Structure 1
Amino acid sequence: MTTSPPRPDQHSPPRRRDTVRADVLASLVVFLVAVPLSLGIALASGAPLMAGLIAAVVGGIVAGLLGGTPLQVSGPAAGLTVVVAEMVARFGWQVTCLITAGAGLLQILFGLVRIARFSQAIPPAVVHGMLAGIGVTIALSQLHVVLGGSPPTGAVAALVELPGALAGIAPGPALAGLATIALLLLWPRLPRRMRLVPGHLVAVTAVTALALPFTGIPRVDLPGGLLEAVTLPTLLPDVPWAAVLGGMLTIALVASVESLLSAVAVDRMHSGPRSNPDRELIGQGAANTLSGVLGGLPVTGVIVRSSTNVAAGARTRASAVLHGLWIALFGIVLVGVIELIPMAALGGLLVVVGVQLVKPSDIRGARAHGELLVYLGTVAGVLLLNLLEGVIIGLVLAGLVMLHRAARARVRIVEPDGAAPWRVVVEGSLSFLSVPALSRTLAGVPADVPVRLELVVDYLDHTAFDHLDAWTARRRASGGEVTVTEPGARDGLDGPTLHRYATWSQWQEVDHTPHAPLLAGVAAYHSDAAELVRPTLEGLAHGQAPKGLLLCCADSRVQPNLITRSGPGDLFTVQNVGNLVAGTSVHAALQYATEVLRVPLIAVCGHSGCGAMRGLLDGAPEPGDALGDWLSAGVSSLEALRAGHPVARHAFAAGYGEVEALAMVNVAVQLAVLRARDVDAALMGLYFDIPTARVLVLDEEAQEFRAAE
């Protein structure tokens, strides 16, 4: 069974009319999500409520036009509420606006000096701990609003005052707030068709409608429309300027990190153009500068709105800009509607938003990587002190964990069951600090037994090397048998180089029996890798949750896990001749991956020197032959090449031959086939250039394969 060739127009970019329609529809969906969130974040920040809408308008339009992440949507974010609330309480609103504008100028400077790459060095445990601390603080403070009171500043104060708030609970606001929370928790569990309207909008709208007949429930109070809310910041405040500059730096750093993390997440959701992080900082800085000048909250890239934008089918940055225009129209024309919203409904919305910032997956990830202490320390610092000091605590703990790992190697002896050698396994970083423990362990090995010393280390300094070399030499001199293996480095301290990705013939003696190489590989796996990978496989024994499906060629030189550095459970892999989306087996794999495993990404990978592409160019076997029947599914790729497909033009211009150009075009054509099937996953095209061992990524906007960044 083969897939019918796609029409020629499937290779061309989407029509402009379709793109405009998709962006308009996506912008409306994001607008419906952004309005209640913007109002709620302003409430949690202690700022005028209209400041949230001002920031949403400026973030959508300015960051949407100037930012480096086309499908990212910017606006006020929960991650900055704690910082802004502290500054409003300390300096007042107008000075806080000045701080926001100054932070924007710093972000522009960050982008101009190309500092974005350094944000990648911040450990995820610190970032996730920071967001969790912010989430807990928001939830605790807004719980007071749900109960009919005012939000205290800081998590500690909110927790201390909570018993009093419970004692003086106001029934009306409490019912409105709890109803909002209940609807938000229930909404994701409803059938998919019922969830077409965003849950945030449904909850706030429904509770507002139910609360209309009741008086005595505090509601949003606005002094006027969006235009009347525009206020200029204080230019020369009579406050400590060192504290003001510190606030600018804090907002600039937190907003930059949150925007860049959101940009990375957005890139993973679609197969379109990738982010330019330095341009993203410039766009975010321009938005924050203008937002501060106009009296708005700080702006960042917001993952909730951005993911909604991608899921709603946005194709260009126009969707983010349009969503900002809709919010501006709403804030000017429909102020009376906003004033009907109960404050407790916004408080309930923020309680759920805050709780959702504490993600169990982040905690599991920190624990799996041995960084749970870093995560918890950051959370505690944010809750007990403030955001900046909490992040500093997290970074210090991350440094201490790194030093602890660098100074400690894990050394263990594995006694054999039978005639196999004794195994001494050394893991981690083996430095001079670990030599005493290593020496004690080696002394425990009997003198007359064969020993296999396995160095599974990422660092081996001269002192540790010298100690091992001397111990090995002494043991061999006394007639003992010692084998030293260092996966990825050397076969013995004084032996030849053994590369981690060597072929069978490079690390074993040649045996001409057909099954010998495979059996030798299995034996080496049991000896070197089985115990190391066993904990991972135990966790996968009852199910899988791969991060994507990779369709690549069956060519023996294309190793999916090698070129993606993936491990067990990471990829659902399908290989066939020519990486074609054809045949029952491929369609079944696609259905299983998307409908059962729910993979978020499907990647198609071609490669240089592909025999299937060469066969197509040479005329391929006649139909009726099994190989000929199969390759008929690739005829559309050959036709696209001869019709001057843009990918082919770029490939020829870059000096690639006809086989390589066809392999690249074939990737683009197979992606078009997948789009025609309307698969529920992001798509990506890859190309493995065997002579250079490089993997290129298809830039679908430019229709060109480029080096992976």
Structure 2
Amino acid sequence: MGTDTKSDTALTKSNITSVLRYDLPASLVVFLVAVPLSLGIAIASGAPLAAGLIAGVVGGVVAGFLGGSVVQVSGPAAGLSLVVADIVMTYGWRATCMITLLAGALQLLLGVFRVARSALAVSPAVVHGMLAGVGVVIALSQLHVVLGGSPQRSAIENLIELPQQIVNNHDHAVFVGLLTITVLILCARLPQRLRIVPAPLAALLVASVTAWAFGWDITRVDLSKSLSEWATPIWPQGDWHGIIAAVMLVALLAGVESLLCSVATDKLHDGKRSDLDKELTAQGVANMVTGALGGLPVAGVIVRSTTNVRAGARSRWSTILHGVWILVFAVFLGWMITLIPMEALAALLVFIGIQMVNMGHLRNLRGHGEVPVYLITMAGVVLLGLAEGVLLGLVLAALLALRRLTWVTVQARPDSDGRWHVLIGGSLTFLGVPMLTSELHAIPAGAAVELDLNIDFMDNAAFEAIHAWRHDHERGGGTVDIDEIHDEWYAMAASGARMFPAKTPPRAPDRWWLPWSHRRHGRRNPDYSLVPAQHMPEEDDLAVPDLLAGAREFHRRTAPLIRPLLHGMARGQDPSHLFITCADSRIVPNLITSSGPGDLFTVRNIGNLVPRQGSTCADDSVAAAIEYATKMLNVRTITVCGHSGCGAMAALLSGGEKTVEGSALSRWLRHGHHSLARFVTTESDGTDDGPLDRLCRVNVTQQLENLRTYPQVDELFRAGRLELVGVYFDIATARVHILESPPVPAGPP
């Protein structure tokens, strides 16, 4: 969706229409989500119910007005509930409000000194693990309330007592809790167009009306009691070390969660990017205000922010108005809260807690080897406590980062001519010396060695190890040729030159697969001298020279290497694959499949579409390629390769808005209507990143079925002499995914 880049708090004639059309309806949706969540988080925090509503109002109005994020929504956060509950038990509620105020002052100070970016240095694995651990603790404690009992002091005790609660409690409270959870689950499974009422509000409405209709004996929410107990904050009494630690913990956790939420929210809209320092300053002011008014700590909340974006918000006015609606509701419609069963709010918290254990984060972290940090942090929060769990996660993340920074790989292999090729990669430090010397001394004495150093750092211990081995090997009759791919660490150390800077980033390799634009400015290439960027010609003027320069580079570097191979192929081709893929310039079939000349018989078109046999808009080009590949070239595999962010699929999803009616493109995209129909009837399995990503994947599967409409393909496929393979290339992560291939049907063709 698009967002208005003129997202100011100053209403003008040019944007007041946008506020009324987009932000006002979005604010009402967020308000309906925020009220039950604010009440539930107040219960989980051990705070008065009014504290949750106060935090919702302040988070919306103050943080929304002053914040640096256009559409982020702030309010009481479930991730802070454990911290707040512990502080309330230690110092009391009024002292907790003072700690919140002081935490806000610390956030304000950090924002003024513009240190917000440094907060993003905290590993997301630690943050997500912390939130998952908090979710488990909340779910376990509130599950006891749902079952008609009382939560225990720790997650372990809650887990031990759970069977007893399940066996002995079957009263009306249990029915209300189970009904609330059932409605939440059903709402989550409804199609988006049917989710008219937000799931939390729908669940509380159903539970409240049902409990009233059947006269169930339940505990009601009493907002008047918490309002009558309102008092000003007081200074906490106790060890000042603990008070300072509590202030810092609230400030840092709320600040980091808000900044990470801002970064995540920026990915959901196309408007102005977040000013993180301004956002941290606004969070500080909001926490000072909510602390002074007796509210919970405030932080940016991803659930409400996502809801705000999806509801169509285009400016910060949606956030501000949602806070106003909470205030109006609390003042004039607060009596409605007394109809809500406490067990229903507890069930809502159980559901929220389970949702905080987001498996999508685990999938993202798995590719980076950070799952242990996530799991250790989560386990530490559940078993030991929030601060202890976060500390364990930070220590493990630091150790893993240190391991990666000092990781070294040594590959030594003999060539057919008796020479040895050794490749050393990574950062050479004293920690890698034992493995390094072990691999080098395994090379036979007297051998000719080609040593490639693909390193970004070398300390003295590593240099001494390589240098000493080289002298020993050459004294034994061998030879050692050292080639350094990046900075000349070894050569400089051998000459006695000063090794400064201590570590430099590797230069971008001048390889053929780099786009022309990445090899042009400030780089010496075959046809341009090294000239300053400001003296280079315009981008459009470089198109032809780039092509000619690339051809000359091929003639000089690649052609001599590949000429013998191509000479043997000159009389004919024998590819094993028919490779059908999109014409998108970012897709390079030979690069993503590590294939060479003669491997792939390639067909490229808009959307990697395969027109069905006998379709009204026939296309002889693709049909001819299929016929030639299967009958003349006898390919063994037909692969259809789709990719993320496909423009053709985006045009299909737009319903024709992105194409001109009657144009060649619109006529061609008719071949994608079967993919669109399949998309409509297919539910997401959780592996895609949204409707467009899911359609791109579904389209590949549909094209495999379209291939079966060609008799020669279907015959070979049924006979087991032809394989159909679906491939999906995720451009952003540079990963190739193999999609599920169609099964070979039983029986005769």
Give the TM-score taking structure 1 as reference length: 0.68
Is 1:371 aligned to residue 370 of structure 2? yes
Give the equivalent residue in structure 2 for 1:539. none
Contact 1:425 1:453 in 2 (8 A): yes
Q: Deviations over 1:444-480 (max 9, x none)?
A: 2234655454444443223323433554566578775
> Residues of 1 paired with 2:551 and 2:257: CA distance?
58
Q: Deviations over 1:614-657 (max 9, x none)?
A: xxxxxxxxxxxxxxxxxxxxxxxxxxxxxxxxxxxxxxxxxxxx
Contact 1:219 1:339 in 2 (8 A): no
Give the equivalent residue in structure 1 for 2:344. 345
SS in 2 for 1:298: coil
Give the equivalent residue in structure 1 for 2:457. 459
* Cα deviation, residue 409, structure 1: 2.3
User: Structure 1 residues 476, 248: CA separation in 2 closer, same or farther (over 3 Å shift)?
Assistant: same
User: Structure 1 residues 86, 511: CA separation in 2 closer, same or farther (over 3 Å shift)?
Assistant: closer
**Comparing 353-362 with 366-375, which one deviates more in the overlay?**
366-375
Q: Deviations over 1:591-624 (max 9, x none)?
A: 999999756999xxxxxxxxxxxxxxxxxxxxxx
> Residues of 2 paired with 1:33 and 1:169: CA distance?
30
Contact 2:456 2:487 in 1 (8 A): no
* Cα deviation, residue 166, structure 1: 2.1
Give the equivalent residue in structure 2 for 1:151. 151
* Cα deviation, residue 251, structure 1: 0.7
Contact 1:449 1:481 in 2 (8 A): yes
* Cα deviation, residue 233, structure 1: 3.1
* Cα deviation, residue 197, structure 1: 2.8
User: Structure 1 residues 171, 367: CA separation in 2 closer, same or farther (over 3 Å shift)?
Assistant: same
**Comparing 251-260 with 431-440, which one deviates more in the overlay?**
431-440
Is 1:271 aligned to residue 270 of structure 2? yes
Equivalences for residues 283-362 of structure 1 within 5 A:
283-362=282-361
Q: Deviations over 1:115-165 (max 9, x none)?
A: 212212111221121111111111111111111122334323322332332
The residue identity in structure 2 corresponding to 1:271 is D
Give the equivalent residue in structure 2 for 1:205. 205
SS in 2 for 1:95: helix
> Residues of 2 paired with 1:45 and 1:278: CA distance?
28
SS in 1 for 2:410: strand
SS in 2 for 1:428: strand
Q: Deviations over 1:547-600 (max 9, x none)?
A: xx999999xxxxxxxxxxxxx99964779xxxx999866996999999997569
* Cα deviation, residue 422, structure 1: 4.3
Contact 1:485 1:492 in 2 (8 A): no
Equivalences for residues 243-262 of structure 1 within 5 A:
243-262=242-261
The residue identity in structure 2 corresponding to 1:79 is G
**Comparing 276-285 with 392-401, which one deviates more in the overlay?**
392-401
Give the TM-score taking structure 2 as reference length: 0.65
The residue identity in structure 1 corresponding to 2:442 is G
User: Structure 1 residues 197, 221: CA separation in 2 closer, same or farther (over 3 Å shift)?
Assistant: closer
- The runs of 5 or more residues in structure 2 that have no matched partner are 1-12, 495-504, 513-518, 528-548, 563-580, 589-640, 649-657, 694-749
The residue identity in structure 2 corresponding to 1:301 is G
Give the equivalent residue in structure 2 for 1:435. 433
The residue identity in structure 2 corresponding to 1:438 is L
- The runs of 5 or more residues in structure 1 that have no matched partner are 1-12, 524-543, 555-567, 603-709
Give the equivalent residue in structure 2 for 1:116. 116
Give the equivalent residue in structure 2 for 1:30. 30
Give the equivalent residue in structure 1 for 2:95. 95
Contact 2:463 2:490 in 1 (8 A): no
> Residues of 1 paired with 2:202 and 2:431: CA distance?
60
Give the equivalent residue in structure 1 for 2:543. none
SS in 1 for 2:241: helix
**Comparing 209-218 with 294-303, which one deviates more in the overlay?**
209-218
> Residues of 2 paired with 1:56 and 1:155: CA distance?
28
SS in 2 for 1:212: helix
Contact 1:134 1:382 in 2 (8 A): yes
> Residues of 1 paired with 2:47 and 2:67: CA distance?
26
> Residues of 2 paired with 1:569 and 1:405: CA distance?
33
Structure of higher RCO (CA pairs closer than 8 Å, 6+ residues apart)? 1
**Comparing 253-262 with 17-26, which one deviates more in the overlay?**
17-26
Q: Deviations over 1:517-555 (max 9, x none)?
A: 6856998xxxxxxxxxxxxxxxxxxxx9xxxx999999x
User: Structure 1 residues 570, 52: CA separation in 2 closer, same or farther (over 3 Å shift)?
Assistant: farther
* Cα deviation, residue 489, structure 1: 4.4
The residue identity in structure 2 corresponding to 1:165 is Q
> Residues of 2 paired with 1:171 and 1:451: CA distance?
79
Give the equivalent residue in structure 2 for 1:502. 510
> Residues of 2 paired with 1:117 and 1:498: CA distance?
24
* Cα deviation, residue 333, structure 1: 1.9
> Residues of 1 paired with 2:33 and 2:86: CA distance?
26
Contact 1:143 1:347 in 2 (8 A): yes
Give the equivalent residue in structure 2 for 1:644. none
Equivalences for residues 229-240 of structure 1 within 5 A:
231-240=230-239
User: Structure 1 residues 236, 123: CA separation in 2 closer, same or farther (over 3 Å shift)?
Assistant: closer
> Residues of 2 paired with 1:348 and 1:231: CA distance?
27
The residue identity in structure 2 corresponding to 1:501 is P
Larger Rg: 2
Give the equivalent residue in structure 1 for 2:703. none
Alignment identity in percent?
A: 44
Count of residues in correspondence between the two structures: 547
* Cα deviation, residue 255, structure 1: 0.5
> Residues of 1 paired with 2:274 and 2:192: CA distance?
30
Q: Deviations over 1:429-449 (max 9, x none)?
A: 211232222111012223465
Q: Deviations over 1:367-392 (max 9, x none)?
A: 43233332222222212222122212
User: Structure 1 residues 223, 195: CA separation in 2 closer, same or farther (over 3 Å shift)?
Assistant: closer
Contact 2:148 2:173 in 1 (8 A): yes
| Cα RMSD (Å) | 4.2
Contact 2:412 2:439 in 1 (8 A): yes
User: Structure 1 residues 414, 508: CA separation in 2 closer, same or farther (over 3 Å shift)?
Assistant: farther
* Cα deviation, residue 322, structure 1: 0.2
